[in-house]
Amino acid sequence: MDQMSPSTLSPYRFYSAQEWSAFRADEKLTLTEAELERLRSLGDDIDLDEVARIYLPISRLLSAHVEAMQFLFRQRQHFLRRPEQRKTPFIIGIAGSVSVGKSTTARILKELLARWPSSPKVDLVTTDGFLYPNAVLQSEGLMQRKGFPESYDVGSILRFLSDIKAGAPEVRAPVYSHFSYDVVPGQNITVDRPDILIFEGLNVLQVREMPKDGQAVPFVSDFFDHSIYIDADEVDLRRWYVSRFMKLRETAFRQEGSFFHRYSKVSEAEARTIAEGLWADINARNLYENILPTRPRADLILRKGGRHRVEQVALRKI
């Protein structure tokens, strides 16, 4: 059975974009065009109408989940007869392929969630900083598998999320530079007890092999209170990836010091061939081997069409 096809046996309820937009209720969109321009990624032409139709209802739903978790926290503290402790942060995981729009979605949700009446403190961290440095990947022969599960320091990710869930102050996450295509030595961002943490990356819903002896094996997603998968057809993902590559060839790649600077010096036809090859040899393989299989584990699935617009929303049944 295809769980992504509407049926009585599917664990999801499916909504068209128009149906989903009704869940906005009477909430006002306060995000401006100038703010959206700052939040959108290159190649993602999302507009304010899309934000109001899709992302404002999502922020409303997530805000309700946060309030429910906080209520449950208080109830559990009363049940256990323990003195009041600081509530643990609500963690949202966002997964999906390269070029599908994870970063834009994460930044928009961060902005919208922080504007709810309770004014929660919302932080955003991506898994890019937890990639092994290029020197390590090269020594291990993993540069061509960068972005695959084995290219990440999973232990560091688990320690980071564990500290966040424990309410630890000033938890540090490493910084990644897309300009140098590497982890920045000695640089970190500090996450200090947020109400909500958005954790975004390709493989955040990935599972590992289960031990036969029944010992506990933590998954990154074990720390999530809600998870979102952004979905699209592979033909569209490839087209968006190649289009973004060609735009970067005319902009960021032209800067001296850019890891991809060499691609700005080849012909347009050669650059397009290179981009197609990178997609086929690395990103498409990662999609089918590791990313797409995690889609059924998400609580919310946003299905995009060819115009980079969400056309269907699948919400896991409770």
Helices marked H in the chain: 17-21, 33-39, 48-50, 56-80, 102-113, 134-139, 154-165, 234-249, 268-278, 284-286
| Mean local confidence (pLDDT), 60-69 | 93
Please state the length of the chain: 318
Residue 5 lies in a domain: no
Whether 186 has a pLDDT exceeding 70, the answer reads yes
> Is 104 domain-assigned?
yes
- Inform me whether the pLDDT recorded for 84 exceeds 70: no
Number of domains the chain contains: 1
User: What's the pLDDT at 201?
Assistant: 96
Residue partners of 204: CB distance under 8 A and separation at least 6: 93, 94, 95, 127, 220, 221, 224, 227
* Residue 99 assigned to a binding site: yes
| pTM, 2 dp | 0.94
Cα–Cα distance measured from residue 53 to residue 21, given in angstroms and rounded to the nearest whole number = 4
Residue 85 pLDDT > 80: no
Lookup result for tokens 């902005």: 111
Q: Letter for the amino acid at 242?
A: V
Flag whether 7 is in a domain.
no
Please tell me whether 5 is known to bind a ligand. no
The answer to whether residue 3 sits within a structural domain is: no
Give tens-digit pLDDT for 105-158: 999 999 999 998 888 999 999 999 999 999 999 999 999 999 999 999 999 999
- Its domain, for residue 183, covers 12-316
Does residue 38 belong to any structural domain of this protein? yes
CA of residue 191 relative to chain centroid, distance: 17
- The pLDDT value recorded for residue 45 is 82
Does 6 map to a domain? no
- For 270-282, write each residue's pLDDT tens digit: 999 999 999 999 9
- Token pair, residue 297, equals 């584990």
Q: Indicate the pLDDT class of residue 162, thresholds 50, 70 and 90.
A: very high
Q: What is the CATH number of the domain that holds 87?
A: 3.40.50.300
Is 101 assigned to a binding site?
yes
* Confidence band, pLDDT 50/70/90 cuts, at residue 311: very high
The response to whether 96 counts as a known ligand-binding position is: yes
**Is pLDDT larger for residue 211 or for residue 31?**
31
CA–CA separation, 94 and 200 (whole Å): 5
Position 140 in a domain: yes
Query: Is 76 part of any domain?
Result: yes
Q: Which helix (H) or strand (E) holds 205?
A: none
Tell me whether residue 264 is annotated as binding.
no
- Does 93 carry a binding-site annotation? no
The pLDDT of residue 33 is above 70: yes
Q: Taking all residues of the chain, what is their mean pLDDT, rounded to a whole number?
A: 93
